[in-house]
Amino acid sequence: MPDSTFPVTELDGRAVVTTPDEIDIGNAGLLREAVLAALTTRRPVVVVDMSGTEFCDSTGLNVLVRAHKQAEADGISLRLVVRGAALTRILNVTGVGSMLAIYDSLDLAVAGP
């Protein structure tokens, strides 16, 4: 069960996982639990709201890539909300950004196609 570090909520029929300011080896397992919990809701869209996240290490990126693959296999759209320049750079440099649907705001991610 995810803890309050990565709350899973619902917004307009979409499951939303909100992430803290940093994701690293110490809390990436909690991110995995939260995203898996969101995917099991069987909502057509799961949004990972990283708008307040400034840093994500390789373990967090691995969780996002695996979650994307699981969502894709289940016919679920996994979307990220990213605002921070540092996180955007990490996603782009690693190539993870090209794999995932990234939005500038939670509203756009929830409403997006």
Which residues sit opposite 22 in a β-bridge? 55
Q: Which domain holds residue 57?
A: 8-111
pLDDT value, residue 1? 45
Report, as an integer, the average pLDDT of 45-57.
97
Give a yes or no: residue 79 inside a domain: yes
For Cα atoms 43, 33, 20, give the angle at the middle one, nearest 5 degrees: 95
* Residue 1 included in any domain: no
Please return the burial class of 13, using the count of CB atoms within 10 Å of its CB with bins 0-12, 13-18 and 19+.
exposed
Both structure tokens of 102: 């990234």
Domains identified in the chain, total number: 1
> Does some domain include residue 2?
no
* Residue 100 belongs to a domain: yes
Query: How does pLDDT run across 76-107, given as a tens digit for each residue?
Result: 999 999 999 999 999 999 999 999 999 999 99
- Phi, psi of 2, rounded to the nearest 5 degrees: -65, 150
Q: Which residues pair with 8 in a beta bridge?
A: 17
Identify any residues that bridge with 79 across adjacent strands, giving them in sequence order: 47, 101
* Chain mean pLDDT for the chain: 94
Residue 7 has a pLDDT of 95
- What is d(CA 8, CA 35) in angstroms, rounded to the nearest whole number? 8
